[in-house]
Amino acid sequence: MWSGSGRDDGDAGTRGETVMRSLAGWLYAGAASVAIPLLNRHLARRARQGKEQVARLPERRGLGADRPMGRLLWLHAASIGESVSVLPLLAALHRLDPALHVLLTTGTVTSAVLMETRLAEMGLAAAVTHRFVPLDVPLWAARFLNGWKPDAAVFVESELWPNLLAACRSRGVPHALLNGRLSARSARSWRIFPALVREMLAGMQFIMARSGEDAARFRSLGGMKVQAAGDLKFAAPPLPADPAALRLLQAQIGGRAIFLAASTHPGEDQTVLAVHARLAGESAAPLLTVIVPRHPERGAMIAPGSPRRSLQQALPPAGESGIYVADTIGELGLFYRVADCAFIGGSLIPHGGQNPLEAARLACPCAAGPHMENFADAVEALEAVGGLIRVDHEAGLTDFVRHMVNDPDEAAARGQRACAAVQGWDDLPQRLAVMVSEMTK
């Protein structure tokens, strides 16, 4: 394993690797290498769509290393959900080991923007460097690791990339999986390539799975040193909110009931709009429905003519029902604090659902559709106390919202029970930080 010498090896390491790989691994590596022209065009197309930052495209090819002196941990979290979940871990690492620098990689523009804000708010901007993760191409993985020379690497949830992991193994970089997530469907898919997944998992120093079910699936695929440590998402603090923005929002709301549709995906907004139309039409009391799309760039197409937060437009006039599209990044905590109830997006379509714990920590009762596979443990805990109910269609969601806005005492009681149900995991980030810090020494 190398240390923080700052030595620049260029693209060294792309030839003569001695790491053992399965036939499937070599075929995958060859296919990724041949696909480089297509991947470059793919990145250019994403940049035109606003899904990549043009100035930072070289990072997706493994370029742009600026290694600090001293020990360096590479921590990779795919997108917003995973990035937010590791913030308590980053704070715990900094308290435990202030000399350790962290290279945090993500794969989305929204996560990069959010991390810049959150890390500054937490006083971690100097201790954590953000980069976009390179695509899983052998040459780009080699450039990345030869430039940054991490002392250890940690991957979050289900980020298993064969070429990046092979590059870690060939360089002797200790690596592990935290908050390991492996659905039954993903496990079945990986079993098609048993040797490939076995070599990826066998190289891990440890696998800290979210749950017993996840741990069992990792073991069945060849994972070693697997433990069910608990879910970092349970240990996250409440989403933040700017106090001045919250006061202004509360003043604009007046006495209106608030229905929040959080982190919606295409195919769900129409249902939310239909629920709003039904309830606004049957009640004399005004209802304000706030839609927060998972991807803010969809804001203009959700409810044409309705005010949008990204354009700095105010809520619909006081005393009136209406739709408000909150198409910004990092403000979901603001709207959970004022909502009477919420719908959790990504659950009416086969996406796996978004994080219901964010609502629970702010005592907001919520409903979710049938597709919440990614948060099964959280859903079970919240359903048990009535903090979350499942709905299959527009009528079910309408009934839920009607009940919550017409009975605020019941809504508040459900929210408080939900908040209580997700407590008790405060020590998890510290426990994981001890394990991760030891990997770099």
Which residues are known to be catalytic? 82
Task: Decide the pairing of beta strands 287-293 and 226-228.
Answer: unpaired
Quick count: other Cβ atoms within 10 Å of Cβ 15? Answer: 7
DSSP H/E element including 132: strand 128-132
Task: Decide the pairing of beta strands 128-132 and 152-156.
Answer: unpaired
What region, left, alpha or beta, does residue 284 occupy, with left being phi > 0 and alpha being psi -120 to 50 degrees? alpha
Q: What is the DSSP string of 85-106?
A: HTHHHHHHHHHH-TT-EEEEEE
* Cα(65)–Cα(85) distance, integer angstroms: 25
Would you mind telling me the total number of residues written for the chain in this entry? 441
DSSP helix/strand/coil, 210: coil
Using a 10 angstrom Cβ sphere, with 0-12 exposed, 13-18 middle and 19 or more buried, the burial of residue 25 is: buried
User: 3-state DSSP: the chain helix, strand, coil percent, rounded to 5?
Assistant: 45, 15, 40
Q: In degrees rounded to 5, what are phi and psi of residue 299?
A: -50, -40
128-132 β-sheet, strand order: 128-132, 101-106, 72-76, 152-156, 175-180, 207-209, 226-228
Q: In degrees rounded to 5, what are phi and psi of residue 120?
A: -65, -45
Token readout for 239 is 């989403």
* Cα(273)–Cα(270) distance, integer angstroms: 5
* Cα(294)–Cα(264) distance, integer angstroms: 5
Angle (CA) 39 41 45, round 5° = 115
Among residues 364, 371, 404, the alpha carbon closest in space to that of 275 is found at 404
DSSP H/E element including 251: helix 243-253
Quick count: other Cβ atoms within 10 Å of Cβ 173? Answer: 21
Token readout for 13 is 């390491």
